[in-house]
Structure 1
């Protein structure tokens, strides 16, 4: 599919991914010429067209196969053209993490927006309760009666109620009511507040574990069972109003969406007498990675489908000050480092040779604009001017460093070429 090339117009130096030779040229014209990667500057982060499309299709197929809905987290990419691809593949909507992201999603025409936080900004509350919201369904989180009380003055008498999901947390976790009893009090408060509508329950199991060890999976499944029990309690008390669009039960980051489908999936019944939608919010899956998510994705431990990293870094060696050390021109301002350092995968000799695997090179540190690479064995032959291909960890802290990302036909090919551009919107 096409991304943003046809909408960008003339390219210029505002975007660090744009080569000097492309300044003043139309982005679509540049993409149509299919320039080689060698013509692009470093440091650079690229997207792989085939991997992006395959990941979107794989998650859509997984959701259909497990009988749940997807509302991928839009904060991962903040790229409306990628959002459109996810929606076209069957996603119900998108999840966002801030009021500003909510407004971007609404302006982008997203039909369902799960705002995974409390809506407390009076201006944003006026937006979602008024005609400017358009036809989109917006659902927000609440984890305390104090949150409900803070919302109440701004929604009383509103023409459209605000749909609220009660967020269940766990001791030591992030946000979320710390017990089922506390969550029940929140639900009762929502149900009793004019202008609010109790629309379901939600939570984030990814805050409770950081690996796929049996003990971690047990913690995750126990939490999801508690979330299911909370939903059952709200049903039993008759707290839910009539919701033709469906009660929402939502969880599922990119690490444990298989457990969400196992534990919560049986509740999914959008056509039933009491419509219920189980909504998975996995967002990192669209780009995947060569680090944290590669190690923990359910598709590496038996879930149907396969995800491929669509993100790669490219850095030019600019110094060989010691026999076992190379410095390259990418750093913290260009590459993610919060969930593991980049990994050296391949080298392009002289910057324009065929990309070839490289063994014995490893990243040890990043400065603002420098990458420290330890060289062992054959990797000691790396020279100034060589370009390294890097695998990256954690897409959520990659996209925000690039307002414009080149899309390559195949980042793993000997000579990749540019075929499109993706524009991000991070403010």
Structure 2
């Protein structure tokens, strides 16, 4: 076994994961779900790591959610027995991979996202040679995939029921639009959403499951939806970021488990410093006020612009920085940061204890 490097020898940019915070976040979400009789089926699109998936499953997660078949395939070594692929699959070339996944899992569920999608998906399902379990997507305001008109849901259900290749097992939604809702509005917006979801489900079959999925709402939905929903599917909660800690206030900053270590490489003019982490580290995602990352040490230092290899740092304290100084930042959006790196550096009490491979990095197919 290789000895982990010391913190001082880490080259930058490096992605740092605080193991204690990560495990506390996993336990905390699982505890809320357990207390209200709701299954946790976390989305691995955030962490993409077998090491993290194992910890989620060991804590009590009943299954995992992913975006693409490649993510599901990469998570097989975690020991998962149930997987939901929450994406509109249509390519007949994917049939052998779907069949192989179904043969290795106890419960594989796939998505049906609209009437138009259902017709194409049924042709794909027939090619797998297996009867597939499906979840129907309901749009709850994000305006992405999902049934917009509640009257269409029974028509889709009837179409699926006529096919020998699929079985409708439930409904799902991604209520990501609630990231923009004020905290005082969250409960009423969630109650309205749950009412719509239950109405759609009840118009078809009251015994079918409902699985919402979003880190900003998961805890509140588990509490409010007890007895009405069967699972939640949050992803970013394991690490957190500025979206969860600063924009929505869902996570205290001292629970955020993933940060970016970067080095000041230039100070080309007063009021500006350049770091060696740009869009290939932070991605182009920003907070609503245009911030890519913030320093976590209390100084007023914000990454306000990114090129591919540079971050532009401004703030009241920027002129105190020295070239060669290393700064730890909290990124705006954690999911894209993880997908841009091959591995993360695992920390415990300020010491490097391990490195973990990002197993599903780039698994976009």
Q: Tell whether 2:44 aligns with 1:74.
A: yes
Q: State the distance in 2 between where 1:129 and 1:160 align.
A: 7
Larger radius of gyration: 1
Measured after TM superposition, the shift of residue 85 of structure 1 is 0.8
- Give the match for residue 328 of structure 1: 275
Q: State the distance in 2 between where 1:389 and 1:54 align.
A: 21
- Give the match for residue 326 of structure 2: 387
- Give the match for residue 30 of structure 1: 3
Q: Tell whether 2:161 aligns with 1:191.
A: yes
Measured after TM superposition, the shift of residue 159 of structure 1 is 5.3
Taking the TM superposition and a 5 Å limit, the aligned residue runs for 1:121-136 are 121-129=91-99, 133-136=103-106
- Give the match for residue 406 of structure 1: 345
Q: Tell whether 2:63 aligns with 1:63.
A: no
Check conservation: 2:294, 2:330, Cα contact below 8 A: yes
Measured after TM superposition, the shift of residue 402 of structure 1 is 0.7
Q: Tell whether 2:294 aligns with 1:360.
A: no
Q: Tell whether 2:221 aligns with 1:260.
A: yes
- Give the match for residue 316 of structure 1: 263
Q: State the distance in 2 between where 1:402 and 1:202 align.
A: 30
Q: State the distance in 1 between where 2:10 and 2:195 align.
A: 50
- Give the match for residue 422 of structure 1: 356
- Which string of whole-angstrom CA distances, capped at 9 and with x for unpartnered residues, describes residues 85-129 of structure 1? 111111011111123223323465421111112332334334434
- Which string of whole-angstrom CA distances, capped at 9 and with x for unpartnered residues, describes residues 300-349 of structure 1? 6xxxxx98111111111122222322222211111244133100223xxx
Measured after TM superposition, the shift of residue 260 of structure 1 is 2.3
Check conservation: 1:144, 1:186, Cα contact below 8 A: yes
Q: Give secondary structure in 1 for the equivalent of 2:158.
A: helix
- Give the match for residue 20 of structure 1: none
Q: Give secondary structure in 2 for the equivalent of 1:266.
A: coil
Q: State the distance in 2 between where 1:311 and 1:79 align.
A: 13
Q: 1:171 and 1:382, CA in 2 relative to 1: closer, same or farther beyond 3 A?
A: closer
Measured after TM superposition, the shift of residue 226 of structure 1 is 0.7
Check conservation: 2:244, 2:251, Cα contact below 8 A: no
RMSD, aligned CA: 2.5
Q: 1:286 and 1:235, CA in 2 relative to 1: closer, same or farther beyond 3 A?
A: same
Q: 1:360 and 1:393, CA in 2 relative to 1: closer, same or farther beyond 3 A?
A: closer
Measured after TM superposition, the shift of residue 265 of structure 1 is 2.1
Taking the TM superposition and a 5 Å limit, the aligned residue runs for 1:79-94 are 79-94=49-64
TM, length-normalised to structure 2: 0.89
Q: State the distance in 2 between where 1:131 and 1:73 align.
A: 17
Unaligned runs of 5+ in 2: none
Measured after TM superposition, the shift of residue 258 of structure 1 is 3.1
Measured after TM superposition, the shift of residue 423 of structure 1 is 0.5
- Give the match for residue 176 of structure 2: 206
Q: State the distance in 2 between where 1:387 and 1:152 align.
A: 53
- Which string of whole-angstrom CA distances, capped at 9 and with x for unpartnered residues, describes residues 273-319 of structure 1? xxxxx110001011112x1111426466xxxxx98111111111122
Taking the TM superposition and a 5 Å limit, the aligned residue runs for 1:1-12 are none
Check conservation: 2:88, 2:117, Cα contact below 8 A: yes
- Which string of whole-angstrom CA distances, capped at 9 and with x for unpartnered residues, describes residues 393-420 of structure 1? 211111011111111113xxxxx32101
- Give the match for residue 296 of structure 2: 345
Q: State the distance in 2 between where 1:287 and 1:144 align.
A: 32
Q: Tell whether 2:232 aligns with 1:280.
A: yes
Taking the TM superposition and a 5 Å limit, the aligned residue runs for 1:154-233 are 154-156=124-126, 160-170=130-140, 173-207=143-177, 210-215=180-185, 217-233=187-203
Q: State the distance in 1 between where 2:142 and 2:32 align.
A: 31
Measured after TM superposition, the shift of residue 176 of structure 1 is 0.5
Check conservation: 1:157, 1:194, Cα contact below 8 A: no
Q: State the distance in 1 between where 2:339 and 2:100 align.
A: 31
Q: Give secondary structure in 2 for the equivalent of 1:190.
A: helix
Check conservation: 1:161, 1:196, Cα contact below 8 A: yes
- Count the aligned residue pairs: 356
Q: Tell whether 2:309 aligns with 1:374.
A: no
Check conservation: 1:42, 1:316, Cα contact below 8 A: yes
Stretch deviating more after TM superposition (122-131 or 145-154): 122-131
Measured after TM superposition, the shift of residue 383 of structure 1 is 1.2
Q: Give secondary structure in 2 for the equivalent of 1:74.
A: coil
Check conservation: 2:17, 2:347, Cα contact below 8 A: yes
Q: 1:314 and 1:209, CA in 2 relative to 1: closer, same or farther beyond 3 A?
A: closer
Q: Give secondary structure in 1 for the equivalent of 2:345.
A: strand
